[in-house]
Amino acid sequence: MPSTPTAEETASRRGRRWKLVARLVISGALVAVLVSKIHLDKVFPRQHPLATLAWFAGGVMVAALGIVLSAWRWQRVLAVFDAPVPLRTLTSHYFAGQFVGNVLPSTIGGDVLRVSRASRSVGSGPVAFASVALERLTGFLVLPLICYLGFLLDPSLLSERRAWIALVISSVTLVALVAILVAAGAPKVAGRFTEHENWMRFIGAVHVGVDRLRRRRRAALDVVGATFVYQASTVLMVWFAVRTLGVSIPTAAVIAYAPAVAMAQVVPVSVGGFGVREGMLVLLLGPLGVPSGKAFGIGVAWYAMVLIASLLGAPAFALGYEQPAPHRPPAR
């Protein structure tokens, strides 16, 4: 018979449900405000329907490729822990995680599922947790750099009204990332948890990963390189979303603004970034002459591309993962 949940477990589940409800309310409120301020007749593209469909289909394919590239980046991070896992296995885990995180109304999130399944692949829960955490953190290094690259490619963007928003988001993200990595890499901060046997050992595993990345420069370059390729695919997908709506803006603007929007939408105040993403696009693209309705539509197309690509993870999620772990890397 299943065990009766404890009071702490019940309270935790209730708390997760309320957080989900709060995020749904915030997303709904943001979208309602945006819709009330745009002309819906300007949302739909005026180009040929086949062209719209072709651009959208291209974006979906890029989004699906991005999931594979994410798995490749994850594989590079796991290599830092001397935990070799086939790319096919990690791709299955990533697709399943994307399905849970983007399709199912779940409170656990796709990363939790990835940690759970990866722990069986590598034979270590702390290593699985640390690999997912570091894989996510690398994005916050590369996204600001891509944003700066966009402004370098077209310095005239700096004179655009609200361009400073993208620069501030990127700079704050980099500062926060440096602070996190310094704390994670410090032996007297995160390092003191490497010998713990309770949940704090997961923090210790992150310290091990940061320390190895610092000492293994080739491995660190591999991780950063894989992250650049993946994040470039994200920018390319946004470019396809822009073309789907028939909007004409400089490519450098997409390179500069897409990373800023991507960073803003991960703030856990909405569901899937819905509302935050669209609002940021309205703010940033407006000075470039993009109507609010079109900017809103770009955000919806972006989300739809990711959502459809995430649906491909349904089989991986449904079938689960039962293969026993062939490798158990050292915790440190």
- Residue 142 belongs to some domain of the structure: yes
**Residue 300 and residue 62: Cα distance in Å, rounded?**
16
Q: Looking at the predicted structure, is the pLDDT value of residue 27 above 80?
A: no
Confidence of residue 22 (pLDDT cuts 50, 70, 90): low
- Residue 143 belongs to some domain of the structure: yes
| pTM to 2 decimal places | 0.84
- The pLDDT of residue 20 is 59
Mean of per-residue pLDDT scores for the chain: 83
Radius of gyration of the chain (CA): 21
- Residue 46 belongs to some domain of the structure: no
- The pLDDT of residue 199 is 55
Confidence of residue 4 (pLDDT cuts 50, 70, 90): low
Enclosing domain of residue 69: 52-81+122-305
- Residues of the chain above pLDDT 90, percent: 47
- Residue 27 belongs to some domain of the structure: no
pLDDT digits (tens, 9 = 90+) for 229-270: 999 999 999 999 999 999 999 999 999 999 999 999 887 766
Cα distances from 63 to residues 19, 59, 155, 238, in angstroms, run: 28, 6, 29, 9
- Angle between helix 276-285 and 292-311 (nearest 10): 140
Highest mean pLDDT among 115-129, 297-311, 317-331: 297-311
CB 75 within 8 Å of CB 223: no
Average pLDDT, integer, range 92-120: 83
- Residue 240 belongs to some domain of the structure: yes
pLDDT digits (tens, 9 = 90+) for 185-210: 777 666 565 655 555 666 767 777 78
- Residue 91 belongs to some domain of the structure: no
Residue 246 tokens read as 């028939």
pLDDT digits (tens, 9 = 90+) for 172-183: 999 998 888 888
- Residue 182 belongs to some domain of the structure: yes
Q: How many domains does the chain have?
A: 1
3-state secondary structure 181-203: HHHHHCCCCHHHHCCCCCCCHHH
- Residue 106 belongs to some domain of the structure: no
Please report the DSSP string for 106-123 in residue order: -SS-HHHHHHHHHHHHHT
CB 332 within 8 Å of CB 212: no
